[in-house]
A and B are shown apart, each in its own frame.
Chain A
């Protein structure tokens, strides 16, 4: 069984280079200032490998693929 995976961006690390939106157009778009907006955060199992590759390509290491573990990684 594959656990669902979710895309997340560390917006402090992100510099708006835009690679992620170019490589995962169905999941990430860019806002008016060139920063990624996750339009679909759940990645289906068949695309996990692709998404993981894109995560490694982020020049700022700001993109993450989180194996969902129930609790959302977030803030209080």
Chain B
């Protein structure tokens, strides 16, 4: 216990990585990826967590620093972290801080890898957020693959008395929609993993306001509080500074999680994962609520919101799935849409019936049966904005991009042909521990 207490003391000077040191969040050496960084290793690498507590003015100044860093949410929506922090710092009741490490999307692994390798960085960020907003306590909701690692890390800190607020760790519920912000709060407070349709900042089911941040966002926050905004901005682009974790999968030799700077061309990113030489047909960019793009159009584009705009895509949750030219994009889309339809929380009619109808029609098209795409297009409009959460909206956007990108394939299917020469399921549709 004494050794752990001393672990909370400042690390020796010079051990804090400078501005140019990348990666920032992931372990520097591949050998360190075997297990989670202990509290001691964490402190040796990053130094102690600076206190973010203080009077109203100091907290505002620190939140302004987060604003200058232009840290955006890494759970897909890219919402400015400082705006959320400020809103929650002004609530009448002390909020709850929820670190969202649910990552129910089977294609994404960044949150699991981050929690599994650097749990203390996420815990630091969650405690920083609690101090900045005057929160009374913190709950980390982590995917079941890594939640025990996070719980052990939280236990270490409790014994070392590192944190000024109580930190709970909870295993996430399974399923795609369990990671939606209001669903995470619902789960943490009431044990029900379904969206509520009410923004967590206005008071979740437990009636107190909640700050929900993705675990990667919190890890970045922990480093911004250690350094400053200009340090954070020394990576990435001026509009989208910092680094970000991406999951690369599909037709690559080493699928997995990589830490990159926004602005890196998509093709270069895929080379990190070792392009296996197969000709690529299409890319799904941003995750399952992302955008399909023709590989020929997208490979040279910078991986950033501005850079991906020409193909209508955005970094989203940082997933890039490479589908080989030999696979059928329509079949992939149909499988993915079926998975998303089946993942509906089952609360809102348009989502339950609409996504199922869209999936069924795409499955018919993929199987070579005649299908009415005009009807599918109308349904995409009909489900958009018609749920308590954005599950129907995100699914509709992905399907709409598929109808654009796979137009030729869809026409072939209508005549009973398919351009694919192999049957592969590139996109995982089952909750898995990946990679």
Contact = CB atoms under 8 A, between A and B. Distances in A.
Given A76-B181, A76-B199, A76-B200, A11 B386 contact: yes
A67 B389 CA distance: 23
Interface string B328-360: 000000000000000000011111011001000
Interface residues of B, number: 24
B181 A11 contact: no
A11 B348 contact: yes
Name the residue among B199, B349, B354 with the largest chain A CB count within 10 angstroms. Answer: B349
Q: Is the interface of A mostly helix, strand, loop or mixed?
A: loop
Name the residue among B198, B348, B354, B357 with the largest chain A CB count within 10 angstroms. Answer: B348
Interface stretch (A19-27, A28-36, A48-56): A28-36
A59 interface: no
Contact of B201 (A10, A34, A35, A76): A76
B347 A12 contact: yes
A14 B201 contact: no
A11 B347 contact: yes
B386 A32 contact: no
A3 interface: no
B387 interface: yes
A28 to B, nearest CB: 13
A34 B353 CA distance: 10
B231 interface: no
A50 to B, nearest CB: 24
Given A11-B348, A76-B79, A76-B181, A32 B379 contact: yes
B388 A12 contact: yes
B201 A15 contact: no
A12 B350 contact: no
B222 to A, nearest CB: 23
Nearest to A10: B197
Nearest to A15: B349
A63 to B, nearest CB: 14
Interface in B183-231: 196-201
16 contacts: A11-B349, A11-B350, A11-B388, A12-B197, A14-B349, A31-B350, A33-B349, A33-B353, A33-B354, A35-B350, A35-B353, A37-B386, A75-B199, A75-B390, A76-B79, A76-B181
Given A12-B388, A31-B354, 6 more contacts: A11-B348, A35-B350, A37-B386, A74-B199, A75-B390, A76-B79
Q: Report the 5 A-B pairs with minimum CB-CB distance, sorted nearest first.
A: A33-B353, A11-B348, A35-B349, A76-B199, A12-B347
